[in-house]
Amino acid sequence: QSVLTQPPSVSAAPGQKVTISCSGSSSNIGNNYVSWYQHLPGTAPKLLIYDNNKRPSGIPDRFSGSKSGTSATLGITGLQTGDEADYYCGTWDSSLSAGVFGSGTKVTVL
Amino acid sequence: EVQLVESGGGLVQAGGSLRLSCAASGFPFSNYWMTWVRQGPGKGLEWLANIKQDGSEKFYVDSVKGRFTISRDNPRNSLYLQINSLRGEDTAVYYCAREGSGSYYPDYWGQGTLVTVSS
């Protein structure tokens, strides 16, 4: 049972937009920065967004992040077949004194 | 280029022990917090533990406290995870990751090492 809740799956056609929600509480998202990761099985997870809405160098601006209260959202525009992967949100939980990840969302490009 | 290479995984009997290693290169290892994360078969990412630059602070997820020990050797640019009393649910790919500067977020990850626990 993950501390952060994400929808199990989202899908859209190539070129369309998807959003992935990440719901937490005041002890994690509410008072800490959120990051987002793309993960293909058998590979190293890749950081997409950090500090709620910042993109590391090399990450296209098709990926965006936002946070409001105890929830965060990852947006992917101009969906491409290469975007098919699992996506996770992550943050620090101040009550647990531990890092936490979301349950993961599988993105399917129709 | 930042590189993190895990090793030490394998097939282990339940109740046994294992020490995972992570060799870091391409950045000043002693300047960064480091983290271990795992992914069990068919499961999501699970944060396990992290360690401060000088090893003076360590944090663990409740489910592994007392069985897992994170440590580091800065002169060797290496991170370790000692796992004792292995259980079937410890079967997973174990990743080491570097934490970014400032707020908490793993920014670079290794490819992972597979640990399989047999009963």
Contacts of A39 in chain B (CB under 8 A): 45
Residue A92 has pLDDT above 80, yes or no: yes
Q: What's the token pair of residue B93?
A: 């790919």
Q: Scanning the structure block, which residue is given the tokens 């960064």? A: B32
Probe site for chain A from B39, B52, B104 (most A CB atoms < 10 A): B104
3-state secondary structure A27-38: CCHHHCCCEEEE
Tell me the per-residue pLDDT of A27-84, one tens digit each, with 9 for 90 and over: 999 999 999 999 998 899 999 999 999 999 999 999 999 999 999 999 999 999 999 9
B104 min Cα distance to partner chain A (Å): 6
- Token duo for residue B106: 């793993």
Q: What's the mean per-residue pLDDT of chain B?
A: 96
What's the pLDDT tens digit per position in A2-33?
Answer: 899 999 999 999 999 999 999 999 999 999 99
Contact B106 A90 (CB under 8 A): yes
Q: Exposed/middle/buried for B5, CB within 10 Å: 0-12, 13-18, 19+?
A: middle
Residue given tokens 């022990």 in the structure block? B17
Cβ–Cβ below 8 Å for A104 and B59: no
Among B35, B105, B109, most A C-beta atoms within 10 A, so best to mutate, is: B105
Interchain CB contact of A40 with B (< 8 Å): no
Q: At residue B56, does pLDDT exceed 90?
A: yes
Say how far apart CA B93 and CA A17 lie, in whole Å.
Answer: 31
Q: Which of B49, B63, B43, B44 is nearest to B20 (CA)?
A: B49
- What lies within 8 Å, CB to CB, of B84 at 6+ separation is B17, B67, B68, B69
pLDDT in tens, B78-87: 999 999 999 9
**Token code pair at residue B58:** 């360590």
CB spacing of A47 vs B47 below 8 angstroms: no
- Nearest residue of B to residue A88 by CA position? B45
CA proximity to B115, closest of B34, B37, B2, B3: B37
Averaged pLDDT for residues B100-108: 88
Is A90 in CB contact (< 8 Å) with chain B? yes
